[in-house]
Amino acid sequence: MPGLIQESPYKHITIKELAPTFVAEVGGVDFSRPVEPEVFQEVRDALAKYGVCVFRDTGLDDTRHVEFSRLFGELDDIKPYLTNGRKPKFPYYELFDAGNLDDADNVIPIDSPRTHYNKGNGLWHVDSSFNPRRASYSLLLAHTLPPPNTGGSTMFADTRTAFDNLPQDLKTQLEENNYICAHSLFHSRKMGSPEYFKDLNPLEYKMTKHKLLQTHEPSGRKNLYIARHAHHIEGLSPEKSDEMLDILINFATQDKFVCEVEWEQEGDLVIWDNTCVMHRATGGSFEGVYKRDMRRTTVHDGSSTAWGLNNVGDRKLGFVDPVVAKAMDTNAKA
């Protein structure tokens, strides 16, 4: 007797699962006009289940990208990073530059300060854990892509299913100790390019604090809130802290918890929930050769743990370190 065909829980969108436990390609959304509330609710539901949603060939421009992002909540902006007279590169402060182009639209050389800064993006992380108020969703839109087979995909790791599969003794340890991680953008930059940032000391700057084990509120599932922005776990020796972070990140990034998302064409949009997945950029032969124009909006988290153990209303830090500020400048020379 044939099995029963289950009715899709979605009436307006289609779902193609890209990995066994998370990540879905979503169809049926018309981005040429404002997304209707019932369609948007199904997108939110899909994100709660899959953590990462991929939309192909959306046709979005900067304006509609920002407008759609605002449906998710209050947006982060780049104003604190506009140091040393830097001007915004895009027409909206809410757009973060995730590409490899300078302000004159030239490919950034592979030995430039900005390239050294971007190496930190190749480490497993979640966006904005180094801010007092963390991020929920990131919405990354492709404007210009390098040729096929030259790299540039984005990797995602399922930190909810990773927690589900932890050895019971480690689960118990995390639940009983309720660890707090101190996060620092300076730390991940130094890890990404230790020689370039050799004189940078993350301990000289204020860090933000977030609990390591959390409940992902949209799904009700427990989740490892970990990242290479995490400098240390409070209450542990540096050696034990490093060991624990390595164990957890290495466990959560096993192949069975990871999905690689390929960027197929301009207009592709990927949305992910930073409170239940990690991600990292991948390099490739395109670096220093071909244009890759990627622009991201970032939504402030609105959950009960959005501010972690930080003071509500604290402002995020700009790049007060001159070496990091230089590395953020797309036009800086090595």
Identify whether the C-beta of residue 132 lies closer than 8 Å to the C-beta of residue 185: no
Per-residue pLDDT of the chain (334 residues; tens, 9 = 90+): 344 444 578 999 999 999 999 999 999 999 999 999 999 999 999 999 999 999 999 999 999 999 999 999 999 999 888 877 778 899 999 999 999 999 999 999 999 999 999 999 999 999 999 999 999 999 999 999 999 999 999 999 999 999 999 999 999 999 999 999 999 999 999 999 999 999 999 999 999 999 999 999 999 999 999 999 999 999 999 999 999 999 999 999 999 999 999 999 999 999 999 999 999 999 999 999 999 999 999 999 999 999 999 999 888 766 566 667 777 677 777 6
Q: Point out which residues pair with 231 in neighbouring strands.
A: none
Q: Are strands 24-27 and 52-55 parallel, antiparallel or unpaired?
A: parallel
Give burial (CB, 10 Å; 0-12/13-18/19+) of 284.
middle
141-180 tens-digit pLDDT: 999 999 999 999 999 999 999 999 999 999 999 999 999 9
CATH topology (fold) of 14-328: Double-stranded beta-helix (3.60.130)
Contacts of 212 (CB under 8 A, 6+ apart): 174, 179, 180, 181, 224, 225, 226, 230, 233, 248
Would you kindly state where each structural domain of the chain is located, as residue ranges? Answer: 14-328
Q: What is the pTM of this model?
A: 0.95
pLDDT of residue 82: 82
Of 119, 182, 157, 176, nearest in space to 259 by CA? 157
Query: Which pairs count as long-range contacts for 6-9, CB under 8 Å and 24+ apart, including other chains?
Result: 9/45
pLDDT of residue 320: 60
pLDDT of residue 319: 59
